[in-house]
Structure formats: C-alpha cells, structure tokens
Amino acid sequence: MIKIDYKIPLFDLNFDEREIQAVANVIGDNWISTGPRCKAFEERFANLLNVNHAVSTSNCTVSLHLALKLVGVNPGDEVICPSLTFVATVNAIRYVDAIPIFADVTSYEIPLIDPDDIRRKITPRTKAIMVMHYGGFSCDMNSIMSIANEYGLKVIEDACHGPLSEYAPNTINDKNPQLYNSSTKLIQSGKGKKLGTIGDVGCFSFFSNKNISTGEGGMLVTNNSELNNRALLLRSHGMTSMSFERSTGHSTDYDVVELGYNYRMDDIHAAIGLVQLDKIEADLEQRSIIRQYYIEKLSSVKGIIIPFKEWTYFSSNYIFPIVLKNSTFEKRDNVRAQLAEAGIQTSVHYPAVHKFTIYKEYYLDLPVTDYLTENMITLPMYSKLTESKVSFIAETLKNLL
C-alpha cells in the first residue's frame, strides 16, 4: 500500500498537554478502571445535554446494543433504520437477533432518515425506530416521535455525530432570527433539545475521530430512571455493585441479577473525556466558522450540492460532506483520487449498509441512499482547520470539476 502524506488530513485531534496531564493524574491516583472519573464524566455529559442520566461505556456500538435491550427489542422484532450510516448502527440490531428494515433518506440536501419512508415500512412486527443524526444534523424528530407514539414504537437515537447538536422544531423553516448571533451570523446553541435526549435512549461515540475523542469510548443517555438502572446493571455483568464501590467500602458483596456484559469505560478514557468536555463548546464554535468558510468558498463551484446548506439548528458539524451532481461512482472516486494527489484526504460517509454482503438478505430499494453513497465526498473538518486550507480545498475542487 502506498503511504500518502496528506497536507490536509480528514480529521485532527484537538489534544494538547491537558489530555496528557489528565492521564498522568489518573495513573498517579492509583485507580484506573471504572471509578470517580467515569462518574464525573457522566455527570458533566448529562448536565451539558440537559438529560437525567448518562452511562459511560467502552464504545458506542455496545451502547447501541444495550439501548436495544433496554427498550425490549427481541429476536424477530423489526427495527427501522437508515442504510446511510456506519455499519455499527445496524450490527447492533442483529446482536439482539432483530431484523433491520432499511428506510431511505429524505433528499440529497437532507440525507436523514425520511419519516414518510419510516411510516411506509411499519408492520405489526415493528418494535423500534433507530435514527442516526448524520453529520450532527438532527433527524425530523417531531415527525418521528409522533409516528412512534401513534404505533407504540421505541426510538433510539444514534447520536454519535452530534454531541451538543440540537433540534428545535419550531424554528427550522421560519429562520428565527434569534438563532443567529448578530455579529457572526452563526447559529447559537441552547435554543433546542440536544440530540440523543429526545427518544427513549441516545448513544454517543468518543472514537478518536469524533467531536469528543477518548480513543475508544461511548455514552448512553436517557431520561428514564428504570432504563438507567438496568443499563448500569447490564454494563457490568448484571452485578449489583462495582469494584470501585467495594474498594471504597460502599459495598462488600454483590449479586448477579441479569446476564450482563463488560461494557464499561475506564477512568483513563474518562479523564481524557473530561478534558475534551472543557474544550467542546469552543471546538464546535470553531467548526461552525469553518463550515461557513466552506459554504462561502464552495458557492462558486459548479456541479455540487452542499447538504444542510440552509440548516438553522445548532450542529456539531462532525463532518462536511458534499454531493457530486450528475455523477457516478467512478467519477466520484476519480475526484477523490485527484484530491488525494493534491494532498487532501477525503472519505465517504458511508458505503450503503444494505449493500454489504452480510446485509444482502435485508436488501430494499433505497434510491436516494444509493445515489448519495456513490456520489458523496467527505471533505476535511476539524477545529484546527484554517481558512486558507479551506480555500485551497475549494480551489482544488473547482479546478477538478
């Protein structure tokens, strides 16, 4: 394999001495597995999201697995989900022997699960809807929650892309001026509900390339105390107490009351997460600025669609995808290869899950997803990206197209 030294990577960590010091402090304190840092990380995350409970986990994939168990998805149940997502969203459905029923996304401009297609795919076996807030942009949660209420379905939010992203149902179409900061025209946070807190359970990832990076790591959030208590049990072997509680004299023994797992985060990862939470608001503000640069500089590039261009809700801007118009898979890959030659790393979020070999038996026609997955390109996005680099990316694309 040829190693390419990208001048502009797809993503860059927002790390400095503080993360290093935080890890050193945990090791110095002599308690490295699940303990006080995990608790502090959970409390701060829950406060930031204005949600009752947050349970740290070893990654989002296991959070999704727990979420499905918590809401009572059983073997043979159907779960409606997007195909335009990372495969883990759908794999989790298979972990509980449920059936993924793929729904298409709304449009090239709004590549989010389409509530009308969700409605079309409901059967007597449907148990839950799994949404994925692509790129940190919120699915149409008003419509999805009302469908769920109508049919008695559970809703799980894969909010991996959207920590602190918001949904404010009354403001999307009226461009409420209050959403804008008068000097910068950036969308302010705090006007809507945080993603992950609207359905029954929300799941987050802190994989290294996410908005909050801990290496591996995840979180499960819920407003429901019963679901939270069961998540705590299932996360740790179904045991009624944890090692840290016993080490601090809060408990001397335990029972095992359910078949659980080891899905715990540890204090080393949580310590990094706590530093990342100190940085998240400034990081997201910077990403909003970078998004504006992209939108301005790409406006003269013919032949592309910028999804979410008119978006008015606060977003984490996890990624910056574009869609090539009147294109093909080969053309898209050729553009990506030429961007790589210019030193620009790109990606594809995502290959269609319903076309993967293991999902062939669940194949459904999804025309919008099919076009997007073959003609989207994800451009670099991270808070340290500069305006001049965005200009270089836009100019390179313009010349190519």
Ligand X SMILES: Cc1ncc(COP(=O)(O)O)c(C=O)c1O
Minimum CB–partner distance for residue 14 and ligand X (Å): 17
Pick the stretch among 81-89, 102-110, 170-178, 273-281 that binds ligand X (CB under 6 A): 81-89
| Closest separation in Å from C-beta 93 to ligand X | 12
Strand-pair category, 193-194 with 166-167: antiparallel
| 211 contacts ligand X (rule: CB under 6 A) | no
| Distances from the Cα of 353 to the Cα of 84, 103, 328, 377, angstroms | 7, 11, 18, 17
287 versus 297: smaller Cβ distance to ligand X: 287
* Residue in 34, 56, 61, 312 binding ligand X, rule: CB under 6 A: 61
185 φ/ψ angles, rounded to the nearest 5 degrees: 65, 15
- Asked if 158 touches ligand X (CB under 6 A), the answer is yes
If the CB atoms of residues 85 and 373 are measured against ligand X, the closer one turns out to be 85
| Residue 56 makes contact with ligand X by CB under 6 A | no
205 binds ligand X (CB under 6 A): yes
CB 393 within 8 A of CB 9: no
**Cβ closest to ligand X, residue 104 vs residue 298:** 104
Specify the residue, 134 or 313, whose C-beta has the smaller distance to ligand X.
134
Query: Is 49 a residue that touches ligand X (CB under 6 A)?
Result: no
**SS (HEC) of the chain:** CCCCCCCECCCCCCCCHHHHHHHHHHHHHCCCCCCHHHHHHHHHHHHHHCCCEEEEECCHHHHHHHHHHHCCCCCCCEEEEECCCCHHHHHHHHHCCCEEEEECECCCCCCCECHHHHHHCCCCCEEEEEEECHHHCCCCHHHHHHHHHHHCCEEEEECCCCCCCEECCCCCCCCCHHHECCCCCCECCCCCEECCCCCCEEEEECECCCCCCCECCEEEEECCHHHHHHHHHHHECCECCCHHHHHCCCCCCCCECCCCCECCCCHHHHHHHHHHHHHHHHHHHHHHHHHHHHHHHHCCCCCEECCCCCCCCCCCCCCEEEEECCCCHHHHHHHHHHHHHCCECCECCCCCHHHCHHHHHHCCCCHHHHHHHHHEEEECCCCCCCHHHHHHHHHHHHHHC
59 sits near ligand X (criterion: CB under 6 A): yes
List the beta bridge partners of residue 234.
none
Q: Does 236 bind ligand X (CB under 6 A)?
A: no
Interface with ligand X (CB under 6 A), residue from 89, 165, 222, 276: 89
Q: How far is the CB of 328 from ligand X (least distance, A)?
A: 26
Binding mask 106-135 for ligand X (x = CB under 6 A): --------------------------x---
Q: Which lies closer to ligand X via its Cβ, residue 42 or residue 158?
A: 158
Distance separating alpha carbons of residues 306 and 334, to the nearest angstrom? 19
Pick the closer one to ligand X by CB: 93 or 147: 93
Number of residues near ligand X (by CB under 6 A):
14
Binding piece for ligand X, criterion CB under 6 A, among 53-61, 105-113, 257-265, 274-282: 53-61
Asked if 85 touches ligand X (CB under 6 A), the answer is yes
Q: Which stretch binds ligand X (CB under 6 A): 155-163, 320-328, 340-348, 366-374?
A: 155-163
Least distance in angstroms from the C-beta of 110 to ligand X: 17
* Residue among 88, 101, 139, 242 that touches ligand X (CB under 6 A): 88
Asked whether position 14 contacts ligand X by CB under 6 A, the answer is no
Is 55 one of the binding residues for ligand X (CB under 6 A)?
no
Shortest distance (Å) from residue 109 CB to ligand X: 20
The yes or no reply on residue 219 touching ligand X (CB under 6 A) is no
Per CB under 6 A, residues contacting ligand X are 59-61, 85-86, 88-89, 132, 158, 160-161, 205, 207, 218
